[in-house]
Structures are given as structure tokens and as C-alpha cells.
Amino acid sequence: MGYTDIIRIGIAQYLNAEVLFITTTGKDLKFVYKNSFHRIQNFFSKLTLKGNQKKIFYNEKIKERLETVFKEHPHFDDILILRPDLIKEHLPFIKTHGKRFIAHFWDSFSRIPDGKKTIQYFDKFFSFEPKDVKEHKLLFLPNFYSPDLVMINKNELPHFDLSYVASYDRRAKTMENILVSLAPLDLKTNINILATKTIAPKNKNEKSITWFNDVLPRKETIRIMNDSNVLLDIAQPKQEGLSFRIFEAMILGKKLITTNRSVASYDLYDVNNIFIWQDEDTIPTKDFFKTPFSTLPDEIIKKYSLQNWVHQLFEK
């Protein structure tokens, strides 16, 4: 179950609403080249005609899906779009079928500039990125922790000092630097990296890292986090908004090492729980991994719940 499923269930539960979930991904939207000539033809089409057959295919399939949905359900009270940049060509059409048009952008405009082009279509546009909120006069709404984490039986005797679950991307070098710098502490680490066949990292034989080719089931990710004293969070380049990992660490009662310096401006920040990584010259002490998590006030915990997130999104 992914975050979109968690949101869908949360809206239905907390607002007592009937929710129709529409995805723009799936097997029926998968583009397949007919042959090698088709692949070459698409390449030259992009170069000479500014046409991308993949993009044309996806847009047509998405349009068909939307038309089918709105024929059966022509009117909605609220329509929520996550990552509106992915379907920007269809936003004017979608908007005509709802009383309110709401967006939440899970990234920064520095990383995905097309996102800012979609602001004009929405009645309410939320972002977790503080600088985008300020510059474009958006509504600020950080991420959340999911309710299933509240029910987790907290592991009082974790097997690991530090754990990390992420995809192999530009953060890999930062991860390597952090692990090397922490080596003198002789920590027991559990590092898990998703690396697809098309992105083969140079150091894939590194023994201290568990590599996998498919996205881990959510239950397994939670198990890994719960079996560690400290979680590692490495922010994406050009991003200041807090990742889900920070809120998951909070509700699981886990300490955190993060490269995201902006966390210090949030009310959930506690120097006893969160170490902000700046460079290899300053590392946490061994005690940071051994001393218990400092419990936060209930009002802060509730503030970052899915329930509060949903109510802020759809507040009249």
C-alpha cells in the first residue's frame, strides 16, 4: 500500500466521504515499441517534429480514462490532484467536473519547474516546500505519518543502530560519505537500496548494503525502521520540505540523522532526537545511538497526523 492509498482511505474515513481514486499509471497505460524501427522513428520525431510518441500515447490514454470516469460520475464536490504537472494538459477539462479543485505538490519547483505552471487552475494549491509557498503565495502543508504506524508494537530492543531505505539516485554519494564518517563508531547498520537493472551502481558489490530490484512492501519498510535505534534521511537536492521519513521516525519513536537543515525550524525538532548532518567533520556521538528518544508533546504528534492533514486539505 502506497501513500496515495493511505490518503484515499484517510479521506473516506475522516471525512465520511465517498472517494473515487483515479490513477494515471498502470499496465493499460504502458507504452511498448512495436519494433526497433518504431523506437528510432520516435527518436527522430522528437528531434525534427518536436513530437514524442510516448507522450502522445500517454495523453490519449489518460484522456480516454478521464472521459470514461466523468461520463459515469460527471460531478464531484472536491477534486484533489497530486503531482498536477504530470497531467497538466488535462487540468482544464478535469476542473469543469468539480466544485473545488485542490492540488498538493509533493516536490519542489526547483526540481520540477512545470509544477508552478499548474497553480493557475486550482482553487487551493498546497505545497510542503516552504520557499515555494512563500514565493508563489501557496498554502503550506507538510507531510504526515500514517495511522498504521501508531499501532506498531515498538521494538524496545532493536537489532540495528542505524537503518536506511531509499532508491539509488544522486543521494548515493552523500550516503557513502555519511557511512564512512560513522565507521569509527562501529555501528551495526541496515542499509537497503533499490537499484533497477537500468541503473547499476558502481559499488553494487558493497557488502554493507542490501540491494533489491523491486520496491519493498510497506510492511517490510516499517519492519526495517522499527528494528533500528536511528533512521537516516537524506534530502533530495534542491529540496527543503520534510520527507515522510522524518514524520515516520517521530511517530515510531526513532532518532534521526538528516541532511535537511530546515528541520530545525519545525516544532518537532529536538536536538536530543535529531542530528542535522552538515559535513564529515561533525558526527553524532555514540550516545546518540544508545540514549532513548525524547517524547514530544501530544499536540505536536497530532499536528502531523494523516487526520489533521486531510482536514486541512478540505477545510472550507
What are the tens digits of pLDDT across the range 132-178?
999 999 999 999 999 999 988 776 789 999 999 998 888 889 999 99
Q: Could you tell me how far CA 116 lies from the centroid of its own chain?
A: 18
91-144, pLDDT tens digit by residue? Answer: 999 999 999 999 999 889 999 999 999 999 999 999 999 999 999 999 999 999
Which three cell numbers, joined as nine digits, stand for 102? 485542490
Residue 247 has pLDDT above 80, yes or no: yes
> Are 121 and 101 within 8 A, CB to CB?
yes
Q: Which sequence spans correspond to the domains of the chain?
A: 3-140, 148-303
Residue 238 has pLDDT above 60, yes or no: yes
Q: Could you tell me how far CA 118 lies from the centroid of its own chain?
A: 20
Q: DSSP strand E in the chain: where?
A: 76-82, 98-105, 124-127, 139-140, 160-167, 189-194, 209-212, 228-233, 255-258, 274-276
Torsion region of 137: left, alpha or beta (phi above 0 gives left; psi -120 to 50 gives alpha) = left
Could you say which of 3.20.20.20, 3.40.50.2000, 3.30.110.70, 1.10.443.10 is the CATH number of the domain covering 148-303?
A: 3.40.50.2000
198-230, pLDDT tens digit by residue? Answer: 555 555 445 578 888 888 899 999 999 999 999
Q: Which amino acid makes up residue 251? A: I
**Distance separating alpha carbons of residues 246 and 237, to the nearest angstrom:** 16
Report pTM.
Answer: 0.86
